[in-house]
Amino acid sequence: MIILDGKKEEDLIKCKEIIINGGIIVFPTDTIYGLGCDPYNEKSVEKIFRLKNRLLEKALPILTCDISHVEEIMILDENGRKLANSFWPGPLTIIGTLKDNYIPKIITAGKQTIGMRIPNNIVTLTLLKYCNFLVGTSANISNEKSCLYAKEVMKSPLVGYDAIVIGNEKKTNNHFSLKGSTIVDVSTSNIKIVREGVIKSETIYQILD
């Protein structure tokens, strides 16, 4: 495992190379630290599940840096666009209908839906400009404590990743908790809050009203 400085361009380029070559990285987000890889590399995605001891029936979200990239992978309908325009970049994962058939089924748990997010973290957004997409799940063993800082990840039982990116760990008052992103399913007309995280459910419904 190598430690990379997210404020250095050369280190982010190294991180991109690790991802392209099938590696697994740990990186900061606007909420908790994330664990990720190239979503199109099925072997890397399988390794994410093994490292986290994550159940295969639990789908993984994908991070990117631009709404146009989101629309390459999933359908962003009117409700999804309202939420994206209101909360992205930020701690909201939107689940929509999958349209990219090259996404491995292991990511979606065999479903025709997928969750996506644009995180509000300058280090991760810059990295995403290099690699476009990242699987983005929490950097912890499933059902164990999430991590706000890199040092917590490195002291945790999570092992086997190739690099950890450090930088821009300052949290706002709203984000200073172990909550992850709020997850909203807009794949049908029946909007569903799958998980309430940083953004409150009532705030979501106000935007959609």
Kindly give the confidence (pLDDT) of every residue in the chain, 209 residues in length, as a single tens digit, with 9 standing for 90 and above. 999 999 999 999 999 999 999 999 999 999 899 999 999 999 999 999 999 999 999 999 999 999 999 999 999 999 999 999 999 999 999 999 999 999 999 999 999 999 999 999 999 999 999 999 999 999 999 999 899 999 999 999 999 999 999 986 655 444 445 678 999 999 998 999 999 998 999 999 999 98
> Both tokens of residue 102?
């090259």
Q: Cα 48 to chain center, whole Å?
A: 13
157: left (phi over 0), alpha (psi -120 to 50) or beta: alpha
**Model pTM?**
0.93
Classify domain 2-208 by CATH architecture: Alpha-Beta Complex (3.90)
What SS3 state is found at 67?
helix
Q: What pLDDT is attached to residue 67?
A: 96
Domain residue spans of the chain: 2-208
